[in-house]
Amino acid sequence: MATWGNISLLDSNSPLMEQLNFFHDHTLLIISLITVLVGYITMMLFFNKFTNRFLLSGQTIEIIWTILPGIILLFIAFPSLRLLYLLDEINKPSLTIKTIGHQWYWSYEYSDFKNIEFDSYMIPTNELEENGFRLLDVDNRIILPTNSQIRVIVTAMDVLHSWTVPSLGVKIDATPGRLNQTNIFTNRSGLYYGQCSEICGVNHSFMPIVIETIPSKFFIKWIYNNLNNS
C-alpha cells in the first residue's frame, strides 16, 4: 500500500506488476543516458572556442542523429508491446469476478457460483477500528485465491469509473453499457488496496477497493460457507 514515505513504485505482488517495474527501470535508464549525452554535448558547444564546420551542415551527422533515435525508440517499443499483450492475455482462468461501479461504491459478483454477490462500501472514519486505514478500508473485501488466474470483468451502472489496484498492476475503466476485462495473478497472500481512478462525482474519493488473497483451501472454505449462508 502506498504511504507518505513512498518515493517510487509500490512493491509488485503479481508477475505483471514485476514486468511493469522492469520496463519502468529499462526506460528510465535509456532516458538517463540520453539526458547525460545531450547535456554533455550542450556544455561542450557552449564552452568550446573551436567550431566544426561539418557539425551543423554535414550529411553524415544528420544521418546519424536521424537513425540513432529510431533505434532507441525500438528498444523502448518492443518491451512495451510485449507488456501490452501480456496484460490482455487470459488463458483458462480458474475464477471469474464481475465488478460493477456505482456512485459511489463497488459491487461484486462471483460468476462461477450462484448467489455470491455483495456491495463494498468504504468504512466511515468514525467507525474504523484502531488498526484500520482511513479512506481505504471497506466493509466487504474481495476474497481471491493465491497463485490462480483470475478474470475480472468490469462495467459501471451510471458514469465512468476506473477499477485500479496499483500493487497488482491493474487499472481498467468501468464504462456504462460495456464490459472490459483484465486478469489478476497474485504471488502471495495479503491485502491489496486500490481506489477509483476516474473522476466520477462528488464522492469519487470515497470508493476504495480492497482485495484479500488467501490460499486456495481457505478460499474453498469461504465459498462453501457463503453458499450455505445464501
For the segment 23-64, what is each residue's pLDDT rounded down to a tens digit? 989 999 999 999 999 999 888 878 887 777 766 677 777 888
3-state DSSP of the chain: CCCCCCCCCCCCCCHHHHHHHHHHHHHHHHHHHHHHHHHHHHHHHHHCCCCCCCCCCCHHHHHHHHHHHHHHHHHHHHHHHHHHHHHHCCCCCCEEEEEEEECCEEEEEECCCCCCEEEECECCHHHCCCCCCCCCCECCCEEEECCCCEEEEEEECCCCEEEEEHHHCEEEEECECCCEEEEECCCCCEEEEEEECCCCCCCHHHCEEEEEEECHHHHHHHHHHHHHHC
**pLDDT tens, N- to C-terminus, the chain (230 residues):** 666 667 777 777 888 888 888 898 999 999 999 999 999 988 887 888 777 776 667 777 788 888 988 999 999 999 888 888 877 777 788 889 999 999 889 999 998 887 788 899 999 888 888 887 888 889 889 999 998 889 999 999 989 999 999 888 889 999 998 999 888 888 888 889 999 998 988 989 899 999 999 998 898 888 888 777 76
Q: Render pLDDT for 203-217 as a digit per residue (tens, 0 to 9).
A: 898 999 999 999 988
Which domains, ranges and CATH numbers included, belong to the chain?
15-88 (1.10.287.90), 95-229 (2.60.40.420)
